[in-house]
Amino acid sequence: MLEMIIVMFLLVAMLGIVIPRVNLGEDLASTGRKLIGGLRTLQGIAMSTQKPVKLYLDLDQNQYWAMAIDGKEEKPLPDAAWAMPRTLPDNIRLADASSGSVKRTAGRVDLMLYPNGRIDEAVLHLTDAGNNVLAIVVESATGAIRTSDERIEPQRLASIPDRVKPLLIPTATVAAGNQTGLPKP
């Protein structure tokens, strides 16, 4: 009898530890992984079809969808999984998106995925009901995608200081293939 009480106590203790950790709904991390997986899939489609793909992100409707670019017109993708727009879970929203120098908190942002594997530079911020943030950064040159649990602002191009600009102005002129001050051969 005592053994049964001890076993029951241990089972209740184990369930008390395990059940709170079970998450049956969509969370920020899984939604981010799905979005990154979608980006990688679209990158593969663009490379295999040798046609650019445009990914649309609708910040107001919390949806994203993709279209193949054929010349000057957009066509549905050959993959049937992308026939309908994908909607983010109710507790997750696309807070803002930056592509190049354009940052939007409402409306629509589009990203191009090119046949050579390159993706337009982008910074996306997903938030959940608890105001937790997941930043997704797409690097244009390498196509690398990285994530962070902190907000990441897109890098702005550094401007040239005014004191340096005069040093960049050429002082010698090239005349008839000879630079001033150099002896002629």
Query: Which residues are bridge partners to 103 per DSSP?
Result: 98
**What is the dotted CATH code of the domain comprising 26-148?**
3.55.40.10
Dump pLDDT digits (tens) for 136-149: 999 887 888 999 98
Q: What share of the chain is helix, strand, coil (3-state, %, to 5)?
A: 25, 30, 40
Query: What local confidence, expressed as pLDDT, does residue 126 receive?
Result: 93
Annotated domain spans of the chain:
26-148
92 vs 26: CA distance, rounded Å: 8
91 vs 106: CA distance, rounded Å: 17
Query: What local confidence, expressed as pLDDT, does residue 155 receive?
Result: 67
160 vs 142: CA distance, rounded Å: 26
Amino acid 167 reads L
The token pair that represents 141 in the structure block: 């040159």
Pairing of strands 178-179, 53-58: unpaired
User: Which residue has tokens 């939604």?
Assistant: 31
Query: Which residues are bridge partners to 152 per DSSP?
Result: none
Low-confidence ranges of the chain (pLDDT < 70): 20-26, 155-159, 171-185
CA–CA distance from 48 to each of 53, 68, 69, 78 (Å)? Answer: 11, 12, 13, 11
pTM for the whole thing?
0.70
